[in-house]
A = this chain, B = another copy of it.
Amino acid sequence: MRAPVEAGALRINSERLWGSLMEMAKIGATPKGGVKRLTLTDLDRQSRDLFVSWCKAAGLSVTVDGVGNIFARRRGRNEAAPPVVSGSHLDTQPSGGRFDGCYGVMAALEVVRTLDDHGIETDAPFEIAMWTNEEGSRFLPVMGASGAFAGVHSVDEIREARDVDGVSFGDALDAIGYAGAAPVGGRPLAAYFEAHIEQGPLLENTGNTVGVVTGALGQRWFEVTVTGMDAHAGPTPMHLRRDALLGASFLIQEVNRLGKLTEHSRGTVGMIASRPNSRNVVPGETVFSVDFRDTDVSGLDRMEQGLRAAAGNIAAEHGLGIDMRQTVFFPPCEFDRTCVAAVRAGAERLGYPHMDIVSGAGHDAVYIARVAPAAMIFVPCEGGISHNEIENATPEDLAAGCNVLLQAVLARAG
C-alpha cells in the first residue's frame, strides 16, 4: 500500500466512474440511448453479475439477503463497528435512463476503488449496497426491498408480489439465483449515503453542481370520482346539466393552487378518464388522480382539507357527487442532520456550488433513514428529465457528486 494522502486532496477517478456507468448501460441498452432493465429479469441478473465481479476484483466480500439486496464489504480497522453504507439500485423503468440508480451504485464502487488507489484504511467497514426493485415497475411496492430491510415490509409480503404475467417476486428472484441466505435487515448501520441524479430541474436552473438533500417530501395520493349525469350535448340546456368533467376542471385547478401552499409543496393531477367520453355527450363520470407532496404531514393535511372543502362546494354548486379515496401515503422524511452536514461540508471543502434541496421523489434512502442515519447527494440531470431514455448527466457533475460522497464517507468512517 502506498502512503495515504490528505483527505482534502483526494479525488475519485472521473474517467473510471464514467467507464463503469457506460459499461453497465450496455446491459439492457435501448436504441434511443436509454436502458430497459426491469427488476429480476435476466438483464438484471447480468448487471448484478457484472457488479459482483467488479466488487470481487476489488477484494470485497459479497453477501446477498433474502430479498436479493447485495452488500459488498470493504474491511475496516474495527470490524466490529457498524459499517458505513452507500449505494442505490441497478433496476430501471421500462423506458429508463443510464443514471437513475446505477449512478449511486457505481459511485460507491468508485469510492472503494479510490480508497484502494490511495491505500486508505477506514476505521469502520464500508459497504456498497445494491437494493432490489427500487422502481416498482414490475412488482409493487416500489422500493420494496429497501423497505423490507427497514422492516416496513415482511420478506413473505415482498416475495409474494406478482407481475402482470402472474410471476411472483420470489420465483423471479430464485430464477436469477439472487435469493441470498443473509437475513433481511436487523443489523445496525453507522450511516447511509446515496448519490443520485436529481430527476428535477432545480440544480440546473440555479447553476449548482451538488444538491445537499435534507429530506424527502411526504406523499398523499387520492383517486377522485366525480359523478354527474350523461346527457346529449345538443338538446340539454346548460343550466340543466350535471357535467362531471366541468366539476373536475375546478378541482384540477384547486389541486394546483394547493400545491403552491409552501415552497416545497406539490399538487399534481396526472391521470384523468371521463365517461362515456363521447364528443357530443355531457360527461356523466370523471375519475382523476391527485398526488400531494409536502415536507411535513400538516402540509399534506392542509392540502387534503382544502381539496375536500372545495369538493363539497363544487358538488353542491354543480349538482355532482364527489368521492375522494386515499390510495398512497408516504410520511415526509427528514435526513440525519450530521449526515446532511457531512455532505454539505464535503461540497464546501471541494468548492462545488451547492444548495440544500428536498427530494421530491422517493428513494431507497428514505426507507433506510428509518433504521440508520442517512443522507443523499444529488447531481444535475439535463433538463431535469428522468424516467426517460434521453436522461443525461455530465461526467464532471457525476464526478463532483462522487467526490462529495467520498468526503462524506471518510467523515463518517474515520
Contact = CB atoms under 8 A, between A and B. Distances in A.
B279 A235 contact: no
A283 to B, nearest CB: 6
Nearest to A318: B256
10 contacts: A199-B235, A200-B231, A201-B237, A202-B237, A232-B386, A233-B293, A238-B260, A270-B281, A271-B279, A272-B274
A205 interface: yes
Given A233-B270, A246-B252, A270-B283, 12 more contacts: A202-B235, A232-B361, A232-B387, A234-B293, A236-B384, A245-B252, A245-B272, A246-B253, A268-B280, A270-B276, A272-B277, A280-B291
Nearest to A263: B237
The 4 closest A-B CB pairs, nearest first, are A200-B235, A234-B360, A235-B360, A233-B268
A269 B244 CA distance: 10
Given A198-B235, A240-B205, A270 B266 contact: no
A256 B232 contact: no
Nearest to A276: B270
Contacts of A273: 277
A292 to B, nearest CB: 10
A331 to B, nearest CB: 15
Contacts of A219: 234
Contacts of A245: 252, 269-270, 272
A236 B291 CA distance: 13
Nearest to A254: B249
A181 to B, nearest CB: 35
A231 to B, nearest CB: 7
B259 A238 contact: yes
A250 interface: yes
Nearest to A231: B384
A267 interface: yes
Given A246-B253, A252-B245, A252-B249, A235 B278 contact: no
Contacts of A276: 270
A174 B171 CA distance: 58
Contact of A238 (B240, B266, B278, B282): B266
A200 B249 contact: no
Nearest to A268: B233
Contact of A289 (B263, B279, B360): B279
Contact of A240 (B201, B362, B387): B201
A157 to B, nearest CB: 22
A288 B245 CA distance: 11
A263 B236 CA distance: 11
A46 interface: no
Contacts of A362: 234
Contacts of A233: 266, 268, 270, 291, 293, 360
A220 B74 CA distance: 71
Nearest to A205: B240
Nearest to A95: B276
A91 interface: no
B360 A199 contact: no
A235 B361 contact: yes
Contacts of A360: 232-236
A303 B253 CA distance: 23
Interface in A4-58: none
Given A268-B280, A272-B274, A279-B221, A256 B235 contact: no
A243 interface: yes
A29 to B, nearest CB: 22
A57 B306 CA distance: 69
Contacts of A289: 279
A388 to B, nearest CB: 7
